[in-house]
């Protein structure tokens, strides 16, 4: 049952990535591209964890580094979006 739920989580992460990719194609906003890549990394993490479920624990650090990279990418997206807004506000006040 755990394998099934993990596979479903991976599939839904792929779908969420496609959802954000669609918004990126419409708006060309990097925020959506970062989120799409982040969800695809989360799906990759689930797949790697499924493949390592019966092996020893020596590769778990590499598997969880994929997940860490996904969350760092989300933080980068948020910071990048706020930096763009701060730059836009500075431009509005000086005009």
Report residue 6's pLDDT band, with 50, 70 and 90 as the boundaries.
confident
Distances (CA, A) of 73 to 2, 13, 19: 27, 15, 17
What is the pLDDT, as a whole number, of residue 60?
81
Distance CA 25, CA 80 (A): 18
The answer to whether the pTM exceeds 0.75 is yes
The pLDDT of residue 94? 54
Percent of the residues in the chain that have a pLDDT greater than 70, as a whole number:
91
DSSP state of 59: G
Please report which confidence band the pLDDT of residue 93 belongs to, taking 50, 70 and 90 as the band edges.
Answer: low
25-47 b/e with 16+ CB inside 10 Å = b? eeeebebbbbbbbbbbbbbbbbb
């Amino acid at each position: 049952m755990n394998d099934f739920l993990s596979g479903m989580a991976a599939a839904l992460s792929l779908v969420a990535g496609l959802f954000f990719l669609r918004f990126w194609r419409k708006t060309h906003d990097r925020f959506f591209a970062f989120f799409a890549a982040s969800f695809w990394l989360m799906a990759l993490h689930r797949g790697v964890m499924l493949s390592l479920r019966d092996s020893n624990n020596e590769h778990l650090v590499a598997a969880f580094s994929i997940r860490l990279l996904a969350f760092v990418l989300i933080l980068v997206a948020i910071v990048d979006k706020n930096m763009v807004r701060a730059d836009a506000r500075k431009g509005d006040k000086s005009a």
